[in-house]
C-alpha cells in the first residue's frame, strides 16, 4: 500500500493537524498535549476489523485512567456518532479526519483506498511519539499487547 508522505518516527513530535470530535468541534494537535494518549487509527469504522480494534481499546481504556484513548478514522462525524450509538461506545473519543488533515500530516492517507492506514500511536504528555505501529496488511489487527506494554511504561495499569 502506498502512503502519502513521510511517517513520523518514534522520538518525533506529533505533527500539527486538525480533527473533529462528536460535537463537530475542531480538535488540534495542541489539544492532545498534556496527557499521555493512545491514538488508534482505523481505515473505516464500519468494517469488522476496525470495529474489533476500537472495541479492544474501549475495553482497555478504564484500566489506564491517566491516559486518553482516541480512535481516528476518516468516517464523517455523523457516521462515527451512529457507530458509537450502535456499539454503545462511551470511554474512547472518536475523532473524524474526513478532511484528511491528520492523514496527510502523518503520512497515513492511502490514496488508492481513500482512507487511513491502520496504526497505533502513543504520545507522551509533551506530544512526543513514544510508540508507533503501522499495520502492513490492513485486514489484520494491530499488536494490542505491544501497544499496551508501551503505554504502561508511561502510565500505570489500574485493575478494576
* DSSP states of the chain: ---SSPPPPTTSBPPP-EEE-TT--EEEHHHHTTSEEEEEE-S-TTSHHHHHHHHHHHHHHTT-TTEEEEEEESS-HHHHHHHHHHHT--SSEEEE-TT-HHHHHHT-EETTTTEEPPEEEEE-TTSBEEEEEE-SSTTS---HHHHHHHHHTTS-----
Is position 87 within any domain?
A: yes
Any idea what the CATH number is for the domain that residue 138 is in?
A: 3.40.30.10
92 vs 58: which has the higher pLDDT: 58
Give me the active site residues, please: 50
Is position 54 within any domain?
A: yes
- Confidence grade of residue 4 (pLDDT, cut at 50, 70, 90): confident
- What domain range is 144 assigned to? 12-153
Q: What's the structural domain count of the chain?
A: 1
Whether pTM > 0.85 for this model: the answer is yes
Amino acid at each position: 500500500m502506498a502512503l502519502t508522505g513521510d511517517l513520523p518516527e518514534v522520538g518525533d513530535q506529533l505533527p500539527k493537524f486538525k480533527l473533529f470530535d462528536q460535537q463537530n468541534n475542531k480538535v488540534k494537535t495542541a489539544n492532545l498535549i498534556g496527557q499521555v494518549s493512545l491514538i488508534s487509527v482505523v481505515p473505516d469504522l464500519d468494517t469488522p476489523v476496525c470495529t474489533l480494534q476500537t472495541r479492544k481499546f474501549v475495553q482497555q481504556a478504564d484500566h489506564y485512567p491517566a491516559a486518553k484513548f482516541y480512535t481516528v478514522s476518516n468516517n464523517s462525524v455523523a457516521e462515527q456518532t451512529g457507530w458509537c450509538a450502535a456499539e454503545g461506545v462511551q470511554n474512547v473519543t472518536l475523532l473524524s479526519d474526513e478532511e484528511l488533515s491528520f492523514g496527510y500530516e502523518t503520512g497515513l492517507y492511502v490514496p488508492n483506498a481513500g482512507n487511513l492506514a491502520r496504526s497505533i500511536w502513543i504520545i507522551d504528555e509533551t506530544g512526543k511519539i513514544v510508540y508507533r505501529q503501522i499495520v502492513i496488511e490492513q485486514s489484520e489487527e494491530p499488536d494490542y499487547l505491544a501497544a499496551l506494554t508501551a503505554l504502561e511504561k508511561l502510565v500505570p495499569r489500574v485493575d478494576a
